[in-house]
Amino acid sequence: MKRVIVDAAPLIFMAKADLLGALKRLYKKVFVTTYIMVEVERPIKMGYKAPEVDLIKSAEIVEIKDLTAKEIVEVKKISKEYNIGTGEAEATVLFKRGSFDVVIVADIRAQRKLRELRVNALDLVDVGFVVAKRGIMNPREFAKRLYEKAHYRTQRIRDILGR
């Protein structure tokens, strides 16, 4: 079974689109850093209703991995040098520890940056094709849910849906 790190945005979009079940069928468990989980929970802390946060927690799919102080220094360096978010930088550092297979991001630009860092990164849209390859769901249905339920409307999603 692949060991997968997921950034906050793809996790939130998949929860909103009711796709956590597909993610769980694919990977059984996904990993996040403490900071990524803080990003996921931020709307709740700010007093907003965010049912997707409860869905993520109740799905029992997320395992939190802490970074060391030395790794956090590396995160800051990577974030600044490559102009990526802290969550993406933390996912990069966690990946470089070894024993992880892929990092899922929701930004094609971040995917390119992570690949520059020699991180096997997968864009959220591509997860739909992995889901389809495993026979879990049609990629068009995956894209439709992201578009309609999660309001994830990238050009790639629109292209899949013919919009």
Residue 99: other Cβ atoms inside 10 A: 8
- Rg over CA atoms, the chain: 15
Amino acid found at 48:
Y
SS3 92: helix
**pLDDT at residue number 50:** 92
Helix H, strand E, coil C: the string for 93-143 is HHHHCCCCCEEEECCHHHHHHHHHCCCCEEEHHHHHHHHHHCCCCCHHHHH
**pLDDT at residue number 163:** 83
Q: Which residues does 92 contact at the CB level (< 8 Å), separation at least 6?
A: 75, 78, 84, 103, 114, 117, 119
Positions of the chain with pLDDT under 50: none
The predicted-structure confidence for 75-102, as pLDDT tens digits, reads as follows 999 999 999 999 999 999 999 998 999 9
CATH label, 4-137, candidates 3.10.180.10, 3.40.640.10, 3.30.460.20, 3.40.50.1010: 3.40.50.1010
Nearest Cα neighbor of 157 from 149, 103, 104, 144 is: 144
| Burial (CB count <10 Å: 0-12, 13-18, 19+), residue 9 | buried
137: tokens are 């769901």
